[in-house]
């Protein structure tokens, strides 16, 4: 017997409609590329999202067409999220930090019909345009007055003109909730990037889960500033979950340096922010150097790479900000787990609590996790055994766009994350390493993340990376690569002595190399493939 409850489909346009009806005067604030701050409300955003949908229809866009965006976090990008998906097309966010050839590959693979482009990215598109095979129009995300004069982009349209021509009386269509809504390519450190195609249903379920108290704890009292870009897994879903909760949104535009972020946090009374560790390194350095404080910020989500313990502690001790350590992937929309303590943890000492908070957190309801060893055998959830982390759930991918990569889930629907992890009896997951980064020494595994975290606790270290170097006897041994803070003094012996009190002796790096900078991927992770290339001919010291 079926239940007698309505089958209203879960659609993204309902989020903005809800926010406009119930939070019509809640603000959306953006630092713009034209200069200055733009302010409007959910009510205004809803009207303009409808105009976006009308403009797309006028340009001949049909349901299912892919519409590319090359844009930072701002109100026009927000309107595109809703206008494009809401009329049944697919919002394809493109990471402008990718190599040009990757951008060309992605646009052609997605078969983007239109490209919406932020002001400072128009020159990139101008250069690549001859290689885009399906793009009919480029739309400059600005008004006529700010358009650069001699752009060689034929058929260029201007966003504000497109919207000005529309009445804004569009009725959002109702369709199957499994309809594709947005597309995001993984940055793919090896091989071509692969597209993850989200649906309306997966996006709404993810937004519900994201707002929960033990996930991102969003409400109509939150002021949310996503530092994580809207081209990186939909800014971790924040443009959706903020609308669901009726939270004020603050978009930082292109200025993600410590000074610009700090100013915006204070000016707008931001309570919640989210980003990768490298962004927070810059913010903390700026605040330390200028003796600044944070007066309203309560939560900083750190994800994308492991949050170093020193960073969690500094935020907490010096700025009164609680770090929410989160883990996820493009393939998971992206939220997999977020770290909040349980009631029993509140009795722990500061140090004991830090051990809990270092973990990547507990899965929100909807995400199932297990760890497996050789032959796919499930391993115990004892916090000690580590194995390949598998996930499944209603916002986890079941296959890449256009079938790239073939079958990616097993017969029971489990997706292999490529991460190695432990699970403990309280439900906390801890990433030991990315499976391709773990150092295999004499049949045992050394976690590069643990070593990096230990090194980052030294006050002279700005950033640290560990890679495995071939060793004739042990197979691989760790090499520690360190970027020192400006003006700081640190040599190999001091570094090794410092690590000696933190990690087992056989884990100690065989050598330390100092570099001017550590390379990052387009999404802010340490680019270990490049480090391995840079140190390909390097030989570990003998003896």
Q: Which residues of the shown chain bind ligand ADP in the complex (CB under 6 A)?
A: 186-187, 303-306, 325-330, 334, 360, 417-419, 431, 434, 521, 523, 525
DSSP tag of 543: -
| Bridging pattern class, strands 112-117 and 137-140 | parallel
- Smallest distance, ligand ADP to C-beta of residue 391, A: 10
Spatial separation of the C-alpha atoms in residues 53 and 336, rounded to whole Å: 31
Q: Which residues pair with 415 in a beta bridge?
A: 391, 409
Spatial separation of the C-alpha atoms in residues 5 and 536, rounded to whole Å: 62
- Smallest distance, ligand ADP to C-beta of residue 303, A: 4
Q: Which of 194, 200 has the CB closer to ligand ADP?
A: 194
Q: Which of 121, 235 has the CB closer to ligand ADP?
A: 235
Q: Which of 132, 327 has the CB closer to ligand ADP?
A: 327
- Smallest distance, ligand ADP to C-beta of residue 135, A: 23
- Smallest distance, ligand ADP to C-beta of residue 141, A: 23
Q: Which of 312, 431 has the CB closer to ligand ADP?
A: 431
- Smallest distance, ligand ADP to C-beta of residue 186, A: 4
Question: How many other β-carbons are positioned within 10 Å of the β-carbon of residue 412?
Answer: 7
Angle, helix 309-319 to helix 277-289, in steps of 10 degrees:
40
Q: Which of 117, 311 has the CB closer to ligand ADP?
A: 311
Catalytic residue among 79, 331, 452, 463: 331
Spatial separation of the C-alpha atoms in residues 373 and 32, rounded to whole Å: 49
Measured from each CB, the residue nearest to ligand ADP is: 523
Spatial separation of the C-alpha atoms in residues 198 and 398, rounded to whole Å: 10
**Could you tell me the CA-to-CA distances from 116 to 23, 66, 107, 121 in Å, in that order?**
27, 11, 12, 10
Half-sphere exposure of 177 (CA within 13 A, CB side): 14
74: left (phi over 0), alpha (psi -120 to 50) or beta: beta
Spatial separation of the C-alpha atoms in residues 181 and 387, rounded to whole Å: 33
Catalytic residue among 27, 298, 445, 485: 445
Which tokens sit at 161? 């003109």
Which tokens sit at 173? 């269509």
143: enclosing H helix or E strand? none
Spatial separation of the C-alpha atoms in residues 161 and 121, rounded to whole Å: 19
Catalytic residue among 26, 32, 186, 271: 186
Q: Which of 13, 523 has the CB closer to ligand ADP?
A: 523
Spatial separation of the C-alpha atoms in residues 151 and 162, rounded to whole Å: 19
Q: Answer whether 414's CB lies under 8 Å from 438's CB.
A: no
Q: Which of 141, 276 has the CB closer to ligand ADP?
A: 276
Dihedral in degrees, nearest 10, Cα atoms 188, 193, 194, 196 = 80
3-state class (DSSP) for residue 49: helix
- Smallest distance, ligand ADP to C-beta of residue 367, A: 13
What is the total residue count of the chain?
Answer: 543
Spatial separation of the C-alpha atoms in residues 359 and 419, rounded to whole Å: 14
Which tokens sit at 258? 């410590």
- Smallest distance, ligand ADP to C-beta of residue 114, A: 23
Catalytic residue among 440, 444, 494, 506: 440
516 is catalytic: no
Spatial separation of the C-alpha atoms in residues 366 and 199, rounded to whole Å: 16
* CA dihedral for 540, 189, 237, 224, sign (positive or negative): positive
Q: Which of 166, 422 has the CB closer to ligand ADP?
A: 422
DSSP 146-172: GS-TT---TT-EEHHHHHHT----PPP
- Smallest distance, ligand ADP to C-beta of residue 279, A: 14
Q: Answer whether 293's CB lies under 8 Å from 268's CB.
A: no
Spatial separation of the C-alpha atoms in residues 450 and 343, rounded to whole Å: 27
445 is catalytic: yes
271 is catalytic: no
Q: Which of 28, 235 has the CB closer to ligand ADP?
A: 235
Q: Which of 135, 323 has the CB closer to ligand ADP?
A: 323
Q: Answer whether 237's CB lies under 8 Å from 210's CB.
A: yes
186 is catalytic: yes
Spatial separation of the C-alpha atoms in residues 98 and 100, rounded to whole Å: 6
- Smallest distance, ligand ADP to C-beta of residue 456, A: 13
Using alpha carbons, select from 146, 324, 325, 303 the residue that is nearest to residue 236: 303
- Smallest distance, ligand ADP to C-beta of residue 431, A: 4
Catalytic residue positions?
186, 331, 440, 445
């Amino acid at each position: 017997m079926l239940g007698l409850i309505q089958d209203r489909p879960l659609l993204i346009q309902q989020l903005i409609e809800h926010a406009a009806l119930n939070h019509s005067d809640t603000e959306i604030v953006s630092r713009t590329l034209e200069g200055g701050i733009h302010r409007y409300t959910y009510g205004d955003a809803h009207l303009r999202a409808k105009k976006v949908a009308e403009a797309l229809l006028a340009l001949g866009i049909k349901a299912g067409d892919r519409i590319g965006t090359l844009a930072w976090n701002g109100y026009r990008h927000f309107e595109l999220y809703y206008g494009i998906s809401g009329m049944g097309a697919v919002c394809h966010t493109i990471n402008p930090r990718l190599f040009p050839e990757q951008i060309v590959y992605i646009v052609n693979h997605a078969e983007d019909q239109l490209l919406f482009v932020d002001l400072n990215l128009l020159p990139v598109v101008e250069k690549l345009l001859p290689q885009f095979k399906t793009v009919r129009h480029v739309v400059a995300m600005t008004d006529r007055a700010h358009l650069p004069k001699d752009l060689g982009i034929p058929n260029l349209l201007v966003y504000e003109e497109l919207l000005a021509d529309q009445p804004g009386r569009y009725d959002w269509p109702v369709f199957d909730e499994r309809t594709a809504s947005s597309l995001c390519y993984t940055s793919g450190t090896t091989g071509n990037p692969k597209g993850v195609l989200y649906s309306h249903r997966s996006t709404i379920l993810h937004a519900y889960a994201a707002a929960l108290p033990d996930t991102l704890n969003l409400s109509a009292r939150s002021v949310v500033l996503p530092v994580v870009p809207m081209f990186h897994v939909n800014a971790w879903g924040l443009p959706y979950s903020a609308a669901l909760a009726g939270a004020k949104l603050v978009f930082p535009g292109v200025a993600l340096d410590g000074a610009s972020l700090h100013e915006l946090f204070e000016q707008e009374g931001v309570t919640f922010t989210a980003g990768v560790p490298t962004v927070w390194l810059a913010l903390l350095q700026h605040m330390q150097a200028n003796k600044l404080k944070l007066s309203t910020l309560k939560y900083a989500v750190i994800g994308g790479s492991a949050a170093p313990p020193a960073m969690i502690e500094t935020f907490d001790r010096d700025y009164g900000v609680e770090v929410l350590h989160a883990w996820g992937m493009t393939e998971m929309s992206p939220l997999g787990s977020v770290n909040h303590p349980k009631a029993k943890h509140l009795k722990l000492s500061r140090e004991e609590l830090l051990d809990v908070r270092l973990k990547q957190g507990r899965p929100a309801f909807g995400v199932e996790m297990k760890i497996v060893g050789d032959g796919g055998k499930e391993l115990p959830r004892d916090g000690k055994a580590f194995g390949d982390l598998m996930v499944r759930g209603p916002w986890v991918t079941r296959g890449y766009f256009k079938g790239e990569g073939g079958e990616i889930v097993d017969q029971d629907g489990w997706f292999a994350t490529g991460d190695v992890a432990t699970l403990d009896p309280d439900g906390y997951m801890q990433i030991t390493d990315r499976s391709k980064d773990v150092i295999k020494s004499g049949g045992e595994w050394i976690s590069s993340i643990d070593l990096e975290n230990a090194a980052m606790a030294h006050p002279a270290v700005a950033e640290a990376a560990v890679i495995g170097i071939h060793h004739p006897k042990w197979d691989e041994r760790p090499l520690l690569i360190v970027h020192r803070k400006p003006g700081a003094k640190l040599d190999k012996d001091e570094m090794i002595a410092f690590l000696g009190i933190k990690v087992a002796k056989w884990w100690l790096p065989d050598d330390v190399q100092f570099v001017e900078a550590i390379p990052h991927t387009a999404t802010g992770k340490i680019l270990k493939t490049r480090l391995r290339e840079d140190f390909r001919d390097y030989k570990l010291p003998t003896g």
